[in-house]
Amino acid sequence: MSRKVYIFDTTLRDGEQSPGASMNTDDKLIIARQLLRLHVDAIEAGFPISSPGDFRSVQKIGQLAGDDAAVVALARAVEKDIDCAAEALRGASRPRIHTGLGVSPQHLREKLRISEDECVERARRSVAYAKRYVEDVQFYAEDAGRADQSFLERVVQAAVEAGATVVNIPDTTGCQLPEEFAARIRGLREHVRGIEDVTIAVHTHNDLGMATSLALAGVREGATQVECTINGLGERAGNAALEEVVMALRMHEDALDAHTDVVASELTKASRLVSRVTGMQVQANKAIVGANAFAHSSGIHQDGVLKARDTYEVIDPDEVGAQGSELILSARSGRAALRHRLAELGYSFPQTEFEGVYRRFLEVADQKKEVFDEDLDSLAQERERDVSAVYTLSSVQVVCGDVATPTATVRITDENGEEHVAAATGAGPVDAAYKAIDQVVAVHGDLHEFVVKAVTRGIDAIGEVTVRIVASGGAVYSGRGSDTDIVVSSAKAYVNALNRLIRMERGDA
């Protein structure tokens, strides 16, 4: 059995420090319930001295969690903060006070304005003070990533001697390389006496986009607690994303000799919940939980995934509670994906006809970012109509606008393969196109009804036109056409209705 890595979720504390992600107590409770469903080991619920609301959040989450997770309250290395944290945690089954201070030259000199000796002394005192309230005291060495290593070891030694149960080594500014951070953890394990009896935690930030790598580098060197947030929320560029850490540890359990007890199938739900509650959108290409995490839009990838999912997917979407893989149809898609999606929608075409559908699909896809199911319905139905066509509209070109006389030129191919070209003017571009069509097609019907509607989404939607024409004998024929250009849809619909009229008159409808 590999080592267990404790997942310390700080979505409600560091995550909430993301600009724009503030949460009230009710918001925090909603998220805390989901964290419990995920089986995280510790929930950092807030910073009680910070505000009465955060105090209440810690209190309520302490009551909610029961024995299922440690509930953690943050405090500076300041007695009144620790008193307040202890008070908020009163009644929690598994309370933990998380106290500490900056240890880098920048933090000592510029922010705290204290000497190294004073820092060591404050670390010792604050841990010992917190121990008066709770057994479980976690010490953080803020900005450890930029600290002098031997000084960091001195401070951590003091915290361990004062009774810290967990020592948290943050790369607060996310500036280290993974191997540098790993060396810090290694150094601490080699030089701090008694550290083998405490949990080493890593708390990494994403300023260089390496928060997850940094956390895993720490785990490789013996850290057994990772601090992380859902969706990677957190101060500035955020923290290590919980979903990334959990899935990376699942995938590399043997290499890292480590596992977590997080219920991975709850990850997608957790991500969506946090996004909804905080109003912080998850970027589409976010690992594990982004909208595109299991979406494939290029033909080569789609073909591969259709043949065997693992050609391009290393995580089964079900494993993280996502709703399966998705094929996004675009101009980069190939025949395999189109044929597959058409079949799912209930359309199948012989190979010769399919090539025509594919060509039309590419024309539409070149005009649209994404081809939706409704577009495919339209394309497939259009193809089904075209198959029995007497006349096929090859192209329509119009000149129109408020100063031009609307003029249309149409190219129409008849059933013998002969191409006809005609041009006409009209009251508008559609009227002009219909008059040009009338010059080529041997029959005529009076336009009785003309309806246009967008069948797909967006400004680049496919517009579908339905017409009804009345033949000289009074019979009514309908026709339908679709295209991203509604003049083209209109012309196709008219030709489609005329084809029906002709076939009926010939008796072959």
User: Which of ligand KIV, ligand ACO, none has residue 364 at its interface (CB below 5 to 8 Å by kind)?
Assistant: none
Inter-residue contact 144 to 159 (CB < 8 Å): no
Please tell me whether residue 464 binds ligand KIV under the rule CB under 6 A.
no
Name which of 112 and 247 has its Cβ closer to ligand ACO.
Answer: 112
CA–CA distance, 242 with 185 (Å, rounded to integer)? 20
User: Which of ligand ACO, ligand KIV, none has residue 111 at its interface (CB below 5 to 8 Å by kind)?
Assistant: ligand ACO
Strands 476-483 and 199-204: unpaired
Name the nearest CA neighbour of 168 among 139, 145, 206, 148.
139
Please tell me whether residue 16 binds ligand ACO under the rule CB under 6 A.
no
Binding site, annotated residues: 14, 203, 205, 239
Please tell me whether residue 112 binds ligand ACO under the rule CB under 6 A.
yes
Binding to ligand ACO (CB under 6 A) within 427-446 occurs at none
Please tell me whether residue 225 binds ligand KIV under the rule CB under 6 A.
no
Please tell me whether residue 50 binds ligand ACO under the rule CB under 6 A.
yes
CB of 205 to ligand KIV, least distance (A): 6
CB of 126 to ligand ACO, least distance (A): 8
Nearest 5 degrees, angle CA 155-CA 158-CA 162? 145
Site string for ligand KIV, 127-156 (x = CB under 6 A): -------------x-x--------------
Please tell me whether residue 170 binds ligand KIV under the rule CB under 6 A.
yes
Instruction: Find the Cα–Cα–Cα–Cα dihedral 121, 126, 132, 136, rounded to 10°.
Output: -120
CB of 145 to ligand KIV, least distance (A): 9
The stretch near ligand KIV (CB under 6 A) out of 167-175, 302-310, 420-428, 465-473 is 167-175
How many residues bind to ligand ACO according to rule CB under 6 A?
Answer: 15
CB of 13 to ligand ACO, least distance (A): 8
Q: Specify the amino acid at residue 316.
A: D
CB of 483 to ligand ACO, least distance (A): 56
Inter-residue contact 444 to 436 (CB < 8 Å): no
Among 11, 18, 25, 172, binds ligand ACO (CB under 6 A): 172
Inter-residue contact 12 to 28 (CB < 8 Å): yes
CB of 243 to ligand ACO, least distance (A): 21
Site string for ligand ACO, 61-100 (x = CB under 6 A): ---------------xxx---------------------x
| β-bridge partners, 396 | 410
Strands 166-171 and 407-414: unpaired
Name which of 94 and 98 has its Cβ closer to ligand ACO.
Answer: 98
Inter-residue contact 158 to 167 (CB < 8 Å): no
Name which of 112 and 331 has its Cβ closer to ligand KIV.
Answer: 112
Strands 70-76 and 295-296: unpaired
Binding site, annotated residues for Mn(2+): 14, 203, 205, 239
Name which of 103 and 441 has its Cβ closer to ligand ACO.
Answer: 103
Q: What are phi and psi of 399, to 5 degrees?
A: -120, 125
User: Which of ligand ACO, ligand KIV, none has residue 203 at its interface (CB below 5 to 8 Å by kind)?
Assistant: ligand KIV
User: Which of ligand ACO, ligand KIV, none has residue 294 at its interface (CB below 5 to 8 Å by kind)?
Assistant: none
Binding to ligand KIV (CB under 6 A) within 187-206 occurs at 203, 205
DSSP 17-85: GSTT----HHHHHHHHHHHHHHT-SEEEEE-GGG-HHHHHHHHHHHHHHTTSSEEEEEEESSHHHHHHH
> How many H helices and E strands in the chain?
17, 18
Distance of CA 346 to the CA centre of its chain: 29
Site string for ligand ACO, 192-231 (x = CB under 6 A): ----------------------------------------
Nearest 5 degrees, angle CA 431-CA 435-CA 436? 120
Name which of 170 and 479 has its Cβ closer to ligand KIV.
Answer: 170
Among 18, 59, 165, 168, binds ligand KIV (CB under 6 A): 168
| Structure tokens that stand for 68 in this block | 């299922």
Among 101, 195, 211, 305, binds ligand ACO (CB under 6 A): 101
Nearest 5 degrees, angle CA 503-CA 504-CA 508? 60
What size, in residues, is the chain? 509
Burial call 382-414: b when 16+ CB within 10 Å, e when fewer: bbebbeebbbbbeebebebeeeeebbbbbbbee
User: Which of ligand KIV, ligand ACO, none has residue 176 at its interface (CB below 5 to 8 Å by kind)?
Assistant: none
Please tell me whether residue 8 binds ligand KIV under the rule CB under 6 A.
no
| Structure tokens that stand for 322 in this block | 């996502």
CB of 271 to ligand ACO, least distance (A): 22
**348: Cβ–Cβ under 8 A, 6 or more apart, which residues?**
342
Residues lying near ligand ACO in the complex (CB under 6 A):
14, 17, 47, 49-50, 76-78, 100-101, 111-112, 142, 172, 235
Residues lying near ligand KIV in the complex (CB under 6 A):
14, 140, 142, 168, 170, 172, 203, 205
